[in-house]
A and B are shown apart, each in its own frame.
Chain A
Amino acid sequence: MDHDEQLKLQAFLDGELPEGEAREAAEWVARDREAAAMLEELRHTREALAGFETGTQLPESREFFWSKVQREIQRRETPAPEPARAPLFTVLRRFLVPASALALVFAATVMVIRPAGPLGGTAGTEIETALSDSGAFTYRDYSAGTTLVWLTYPADNEDAESDEIGTLE
């Protein structure tokens, strides 16, 4: 008997064959002793299981079983606590730190691209430098190539009060 025949025999036992095939199987079993023996074995196993009690005694009490189910349901239905909200400053810091960094980078870039000093200025612009410590004021006119220095006397600080007067080269 091949495997397909074995399965057909089982399907016949389980009532899974269509009417025509079931009739053929019945005739086959009636004339084939091997098939009849196989069918008998399968039937014995099925009958043995039919008498098998599936109910079982729990090792824990009925109340305990249901209380565990109840606790689990309550646990799952209780919403998880939300994580504590961060203070406003912390939230702002998240944005302020990168913004500050960007601003610094921008400022540094501007300084590199536009260097301070005479060459960075526009030709012909008058630049005034106030030196309060020495009591001196300087005016430079690059377009005219002129530098003019005013010295106040007496000076406000000690250095300026000395007798030595600086000269321009």
Chain B
Amino acid sequence: MMHNEEEAIDLSQEAWVKGWQRLRQFQGESSFGTWMTRIVINLCLDQLRKHKRQRTESIEAMDEESGGVERQMPVVMVNPTAGLERGELRQRIDRALGQLSYEHRTVLVLHEFEEMEYKEIAKTMGCSIGTVMSRLFYARRKLAVLLADLKKQDSV
């Protein structure tokens, strides 16, 4: 989600500290793992929002938010990850994820890895379900194109 190892470690430590401090608030309504994951996600989102405030707004960034060129991209017909070994697949996905904007990457991570529903993601990120759907769609499309490009580069 952060795509920065050092920052991710700092945030994970901060999450444990916060978890310890708020332990009395844990009511057991969800599992401890879910509760901790929520703390981690919130910390990551706060940090990413800070990054966004610091980032200079540009036409490119605005375009990225609303989808931009991904809308017109042709459909990737071939599975770009077919036949890849696990290590290679991981490396490619890692590189491709790194090229997504944080909004797209976050939605993708929350949906695919944390298995959150649209409604849950919207609540967590403080946006509408429509925005979540839109971001998820563009994130997937862009990722497909990036993975296809990586496949082409590796086969040359």
Distance to closest chain A CB from B98 (angstroms)? 13
Known contacts A37-B77, A48-B89, A51-B89; decide if A58 and B9 are in contact (CB<8 Å): yes
A36-95 contacts to B (CB < 8 Å): 37-38, 40-42, 44-54, 56, 58-60, 65, 68-69, 72-73, 76
Task: List chain B residues, Cβ under 8 A from A68.
Answer: 13
In order of increasing CB-CB distance, the 8 nearest A-B pairs are A48-B81, A49-B112, A44-B79, A45-B140, A69-B16, A37-B75, A52-B93, A7-B133
One of B26-34, B41-49, B141-149 contacting the partner: B141-149
Distance to closest chain B CB from A22 (angstroms)? 14
Give the complex CA separation of A38 and B75 in angstroms.
6
Give the complex CA separation of A37 and B141 in angstroms.
12
The answer to the question of A147 belonging to the interface, with a C-beta cut-off of 8 Å to chain B, is: no
B1-39 contacts to A (CB < 8 Å): 5, 9, 13-14, 16-17, 20-21
Give the complex CA separation of A8 and B42 in angstroms.
28
Size of A's binding interface in residues, CB under 8 A: 34
The answer to the question of B51 belonging to the interface, with a C-beta cut-off of 8 Å to chain A, is: no
B42-93 contacts to A (CB < 8 Å): 67, 71, 75-77, 79-81, 86, 89-90, 93
**Chain B residues near A (Cβ < 8 Å):** 5, 9, 13-14, 16-17, 20-21, 67, 71, 75-77, 79-81, 86, 89-90, 93, 108, 111-113, 117-118, 130, 133-134, 136-137, 140-141, 143-144, 147
Q: What residue of chain A has the Cβ atom nearest to residue B136's Cβ?
A: A10
Partner of A44 from the list B14, B130, B133, B144 (CB cut-off 8 Å) is B144
